[in-house]
Amino acid sequence: MSRFAGLADELAPKTQPTPVAEQAPASTGRRPAREGKKGILGYFSPELSRTLNIIAAEEGTSLQALMGEAFDLLLRSRGKHPFGER
pLDDT for the residue numbered 83: 86
Instruction: List pLDDT tens digits, range 12-35.
Output: 777 666 666 666 555 666 678 788
pLDDT for the residue numbered 9: 72
Asked if residue 5 has pLDDT above 90, the reply is no
Tell me the CB-side half-sphere exposure of residue 30, using CA atoms within 13 A.
9
Which of 86, 41, 36, 42 minimizes the C-alpha distance to 65? 86
pLDDT for the residue numbered 3: 74
pLDDT for the residue numbered 32: 81
AA identity, residue 34: R
